[in-house]
Amino acid sequence: MTFKFNVTQSGKVLVNPHRGDCLFYPENTLPAFQSAVDKGVTCIEIDIAMTADNHLVVIHDPSIDRTSNGSGYVEQMSLTELQQFDFGAWFGEKHVSTPISTFEEILDWAINNGVGLVVEAKQRRRHEEFARTFVQLMKGKDQVALEHILLLSFDHTLINRVKTLLPEVALQVVTLARYQDQLGAVLASNAQSVCVEYPHVTEEVLMQYKQAGLSTRLFLPNKGNNVNTARWFDTYYGYDVYNEIISWINKGLIDMLSHDDIDMISAMIREAEMEPI
């Protein structure tokens, strides 16, 4: 079944947890993803990078130091080496022996569970090898696999290298600036979807994205201590950012709302009189 990332026209908004249910499980691991699904989530953001022997693994940082009991850099280690480490113990005793996952494992899991994936490519170097590895993996899957992903990156050139080799892959680009021609800049990167943060977007720009047929993702960065990020922006800017964002959701300008806290973003979507899915 085709996964739909552009959903606002049906009165729905995708709850898009950042790295899975990472407040309660070690980030970017299968238990974090499964917990999100158990809470009713149908779309998850994950991060991928490539090992020294050209395997795609699910991890955020260039090194494994923060999220494992090991030390070293993903791009300098083989998959076999990475599989020797524990990627859950750092989070808590009950998560001991959580392995690193390959992208292929999580992709297969997502398809079997009807989950859409926003897949952020974290590759800094070896772009050509990354692109060919990603394309080879996707070509080995049924067409439905491509329909379950948006390939995302801050590096638009990286994901466009993939798209050159695999034109049917859908791209989501990050915009962390206000350009003179915002829509033009996004379309020039061959995007089907766009990820925005509040400081760099306006209602007018969101309307342009939607009129161009793009799906939109609003990322609310975690400000710590379970603070509602939109409320944090109220204090930072000195005006009612929270209800401005609620208005954007209500007007159908946001397809995906992303944060670490699943309950928080679900509540915001309901307050905007939309259905969280």
Per-residue pLDDT tens digits for 42-68:
999 999 999 999 999 999 999 999 999
Query: For position 114, what pLDDT does the model report?
Result: 97
Sequence-ordered list of residues with C-beta below 8 angstroms from that of 243, at least 6 positions apart, any chain: none
Residue 224 has a pLDDT of: 84
pLDDT at 227: 86
What confidence tens digit (pLDDT) does each residue in 229-271 have? 999 999 999 999 999 999 999 999 999 999 999 999 999 999 9
Beta bridge partners of 257: 15, 218
First to last CA, the chain: 16
Half-sphere exposure (Cβ direction) of 216: Cα atoms closer than 13 Å: 26
- pLDDT for 81 equals 98
The three-state secondary structure class of 194 is: strand
Q: Element (H or E) spanning 107, and its range?
A: helix 103-112
128, 149, 123, 109: which is closest to 56 by C-alpha?
A: 123
DSSP structure class, residue 151 = E
pTM (2 decimals)? 0.97
Q: Render pLDDT for 6-18 as a digit per residue (tens, 0 to 9).
A: 999 999 999 999 9
Q: What pLDDT score was predicted for residue 2?
A: 81
Q: Which two tokens stand for residue 177?
A: 């600036």
Phi, psi of 122 (to 5 degrees): -105, 15
Tell me, what DSSP letter sits at residue 62? S
Count CB atoms within 10 A of the CB of residue 256. Answer: 26
3-state helix, strand, coil in the chain (%, to 5): 40, 20, 45
Which residues of the chain are modeled with pLDDT < 50?
A: none
d(CA 74, CA 100): 11
Q: Which residues are catalytic?
A: 18, 60
Cross-strand pairs, 73: 63
DSSP string over 230-267: HHHHHHHHTS-HHHHHHHHHHTT--SEEEES-HHHHHH
Kindly report the backbone phi and psi dihedral angles of residue 43, in degrees, each rounded to the nearest multiple of 5, phi listed first: -150, 130
Closest CA to 116 of 234, 217, 252: 217
In the numeric block, which tokens belong to residue 151? 């390939």
At 268, list the tokens: 């915001």
